[in-house]
Amino acid sequence: MNKRKLIVGNWKMNGSLAANESLVRELLAGIGQPRCEVAVCPPGIYLAQLQALLAGSPIELGVQNVSTHEVGAFTGDVSAEMLKDFGVRYAIVGHSERRQHQAESDVHVAIKAKRALAAGITPIVCVGETLREREEGMTDFIVKRQLAAVIHLNGHCSSEIVVAYEPVWAIGTGQTATPEQAQQVHAVLRAQLKGVTEHADRVRILYGGSMNAANAAELLAQPDIDGGLIGGASLKAADFLKIVGAAA
């Protein structure tokens, strides 16, 4: 199936009003009509600014998190319906940094995916193993367990998600899975999806472990790698645009 690749910039906790405007203007000046889908996920406090800056452009707006709750006494949370007010198209759920620092469980991630889907927002479900888990030969078990929780709760709607494989040992470390290592895990995830939905081939599986301007083309050439979840390189317009170009 010929599906457009998806390149998503995860800005993490970086940015300011001035820096965001400068970065977005550079991106818009260089992006033209991309042959892949493109989104950026700023810190939530900047959603209104980014909604205005990206209006009418080919770059979609995403977020880095969404609440497990719909409404109510949940101080600090932001619901999927609130995000929808700002034209949010994608929501990252279960990023390894949140699993590690905010103790998010597989169940939390599955519920967040469900809340996003119910609001018409596409969840980008992150899965990935630590270095120790890889060394112990547990990679397939870990990523399948993480994805299974989302599939179990969301059933046939699982064909509407995006999956991002992000080996924890390759995030922000400069290490990257080889294209062969990444493809091997992507193929495992694709096979798992095929077991639950006839639309598995339309689910995009992104690679999210230190993809950059230098290695993007080789990673994106793999048969089951449908795009990238980009961290550090998404904060540099020239690098991000090179990755977008490689995805075409």
Binding residues for substrate: 10-12, 172, 210, 231-232
**Set 95, 104, 129, 186: catalytic member:** 95
The string of pLDDT tens digits covering residues 37-58 is 999 999 999 999 999 999 999 9
The string of pLDDT tens digits covering residues 76-107 is 999 999 999 999 999 999 999 999 999 999 99
The string of pLDDT tens digits covering residues 99-149 is 999 999 999 999 999 999 999 999 999 999 999 999 999 999 999 999 999
pLDDT above 60 for 1: no
- Give pLDDT, residue 210: 86
Residue 218 resides in a domain = yes
- Asked if 82 contacts 91 with a C-beta cutoff of 8 angstroms, the reply is no
Domain that holds residue 205: 6-68+78-247
Total number of domains in the chain: 1
> Is 37 an active-site residue?
no
Residue 137 resides in a domain = yes
Residue 1 resides in a domain = no
Cα 156 → chain centroid: 20
- Give pLDDT, residue 2: 59
- Give pLDDT, residue 177: 87
The CATH code of the domain that includes 56 is 3.20.20.70
- Give pLDDT, residue 172: 74
Residue 202 resides in a domain = yes
> Is 97 an active-site residue?
no
- Give pLDDT, residue 55: 98
Q: What is the largest CA-CA distance in the chain?
A: 48
State pTM to two decimals.
Answer: 0.96
- Asked if 170 contacts 205 with a C-beta cutoff of 8 angstroms, the reply is no
Residue 73 resides in a domain = no
**Set 37, 60, 97, 166: catalytic member:** 166
DSSP states of the chain: -----EEEEE--S---HHHHHHHHHHHHHHH-S-SSEEEEE--GGGHHHHHHHHTTSSEEEEES---S-SSSS-TT---HHHHHHTT--EEEES-HHHHHHS---HHHHHHHHHHHHHTT-EEEEEE---HHHHHTT-HHHHHHHHHHHHHHHHGGGGGG-EEEE--GGGSSSS----HHHHHHHHHHHHHHHHTT-TTGGGS-EEE-SS--TTTHHHHHTSTT--EEEESGGGGSHHHHHHHHHHH-
- Give pLDDT, residue 223: 96
Binding residues: 10-12, 172, 210, 231-232
